[in-house]
Amino acid sequence: MRVRIGESELELVEGDITEQTTEAIVNAANRTLLGGGGVDGAIHRAGGPRIMEECRKLGGCNPGDAKITIGGNLAAPYVIHAVGPVYRDGKHHEADLLAKTYRRSLEVASENNIETISFPSISTGAYGFPIDQAARIALSTVIDYLKSNQDIRLVRFVLYGRKAFDVYANALEELMKPPATEEEPEQVSEQAD
């Protein structure tokens, strides 16, 4: 599924983030940047030890922030390591932090003249963020960014499995629906007496 946002494209695919050939792929990292499971484990396995060598020099990363390294043996020349929030109960700024994580990743891409970037579904694995809510936040944050920043030409979400893909596809369809017309609702003239 692919939509146009201004001059840029936003694409959803089902697949493996480590296989993407965009200039950058985003890692769903943890705050140590020293390795983990899920996306992080897959990226370090596929990309080899040079990524970790750079990560060790970065001094970790706070939730909501993102830092860049080389892509090592990956097809993508860069990895942007982004740390999403751990989901507790939805009352600990998780939604704001998740939006910030996507925004910061895109800012880091822009600062490095990266024009094409792939994201996984950050925080929806080990970090436990409900995926339908996370999908809306992820997509609306990216759409807002692309509307005001023309430098990034392609943002691809790489969803792991059909279920995750369907959740993101439904969320994107909802977000792309034209807004309801702003006509005044018809006045109800009947009066009870």
Q: Which residues are catalytic?
A: 40
Q: Which structure tokens are listed for 149?
A: 């920043």
Exactly one of 94, 124, 152, 172 binds ligand ADP (CB under 6 A); that residue is 124
- Count of residues near ligand ADP by CB under 6 A: 20
- Which of 44, 123, 152, 155 forms a contact with ligand ADP (CB under 6 A)? 123
160 is an interface residue for ligand ADP by CB under 6 A: yes
Contacting residue, 76, 98, 106, 122, with ligand ADP by CB under 6 A: 122
- Does 39 help bind ligand ADP (rule: CB under 6 A)? yes
The residue (of 8 and 18) whose beta carbon lies closer to ligand ADP is 18
Contact 119, 105 (CB under 8 A): yes
Nearer to ligand ADP, 7 or 16 (CB): 16
Q: List contacts with ligand ADP (CB under 6 A).
A: 16-18, 28, 38-40, 42, 84, 120-127, 158, 160, 164
